[in-house]
Amino acid sequence: MVFSLDDAVLLLLTTLAACWTTTTAFDELPKFSQMKLLYPGYYLHGGTFRDKDLYQLLGTNASHALDKVHNTAPMRMSVALNRYNGRHAIGPQPVFLSKRGRDSFTGPNGQEYIFSNTAFGPFMASKYGDPVAVKPDKRHPELTMEAFTGKQGIVRLVSYRRKHPSGHMGLWDCDHFFQSRDWTMDTHIIAVEFWETPDSYCRPTNTETPPKPYLQKVNSNDFEIVARHNMETPNLHPKPITKSQRIANKLKFRHQRRSNVPETLWIQ
């Protein structure tokens, strides 16, 4: 079979496109509903794991790793991903993604656990694709996560302190960090990276407030209805009857009684 130049160019472009698609195919992120169940949350923020509980779960290698970073956030995210298992597990191969050498340690189950937040960002990007990144609001840090309000996913906060990069990893649940403190208040944060999960869902909040009754408009018909109602409503607190009114009522009662009796039966 003889190929023309156009056919050869078309075949080459098709092959390159197939290779590019293969190398850039990313895994779908884990479901947020499952990550919430698997994440070992901070004890002081609604979770059940203190740092010492995490060391006990992951073995002695965890305590040695913490001597370098003093931050359990990447380990907690590693636990959630390894518990998820399958293609989301970090796996048994050591992780080398930062300039510090090995960024993970081997747990009792043979799986690797990343302890470096600096390495966790590149790991997530290589596995799930590039995140949505925003710069923090220095004047109003409470507005830093406003771009992700109404979404669920995995968040990474990048900080830079004393010429050393660091940060935090956590789960973002619509409008707050799930079972961890609000790390956006850290003044050393320089960027926020966000990976939205496929099952991201937040209940819509009703921002419209009903008008207060005393602010509603009142027309003349309303006054007429109120006046008619007051006339039909009996007086529940009548004024006391005077002596002259009592005598008049007795005479009226006697007259009505006599009018119902024949004159022959009247008592003179």
Q: How far apart are CA 56 and CA 60, in angstroms?
A: 8
- What is the pLDDT at residue 17? 37
For residue 206, give the amino acid letter: N
pTM of this prediction exceeds 0.85: no
Q: How far apart are CA 133 and CA 146, in angstroms?
A: 12
Q: Is 262 among the domain residues? A: no
In percent, the amount of the chain with pLDDT more than 70 equals 69
Q: Is 58 among the domain residues? A: yes
Q: Is 204 among the domain residues? A: no
Q: How far apart are CA 202 and CA 128, in angstroms?
A: 22
pLDDT band at 99; cut points 50, 70, 90: confident
Block residue for tokens 């370098």: 68
- What is the pLDDT at residue 101? 86
Q: Which residue has the higher pLDDT, 210 or 79?
A: 79
Number of domains into which the chain is organized: 1
CA-based end-to-end distance of the chain? 144
For residue 180, give the amino acid letter: S
- Under 8 Å CB-to-CB from 263, ≥6 apart: which residues? none
**Position 241 pLDDT exceeds 80:** no
Q: Please write the tens of the pLDDT for every residue from 162-208.
A: 767 778 899 999 999 999 999 887 768 899 999 999 999 998 876 55
Pairing of strands 104-106, 151-161: unpaired
Question: DSSP letters of 73-105?
Answer: HHHHHHHHHHHH-GGGS--SSPP--BTTB--EE
Average of pLDDT values for 130-148?
A: 89
Q: Is 93 among the domain residues? A: yes
Average of pLDDT values for 91-113?
A: 91
Q: Please write the tens of the pLDDT for every residue from 49-72.
A: 998 899 899 987 777 776 666 789
Q: Is 258 among the domain residues? A: no
pLDDT band at 234; cut points 50, 70, 90: low
**Position 219 pLDDT exceeds 80:** no
Q: Is 80 among the domain residues? A: yes
Which of 122, 101, 197, 130 minimizes the C-alpha distance to 167?
Answer: 122
Q: How far apart are CA 100 and CA 94, in angstroms?
A: 13
158 backbone dihedrals φ, ψ, rounded to 5°: -100, 125
**Position 264 pLDDT exceeds 80:** no
Q: Is 106 among the domain residues? A: yes
Q: Which residue has the higher pLDDT, 200 or 264?
A: 200
pLDDT band at 236; cut points 50, 70, 90: low
Q: How far apart are CA 260 and CA 1, in angstroms?
A: 130
Block residue for tokens 């099952």: 199
Q: By residue range, what is the domain housing residue 131?
A: 32-196
- What is the pLDDT at residue 242? 77
Between the CA atoms of 233, 236, 239 and 244, what dihedral angle is there, to the nearest 10 degrees? 80
CATH number (domain holding residue 68): 3.90.1720.70
Q: Is 40 among the domain residues? A: yes
- What is the pLDDT at residue 204? 83
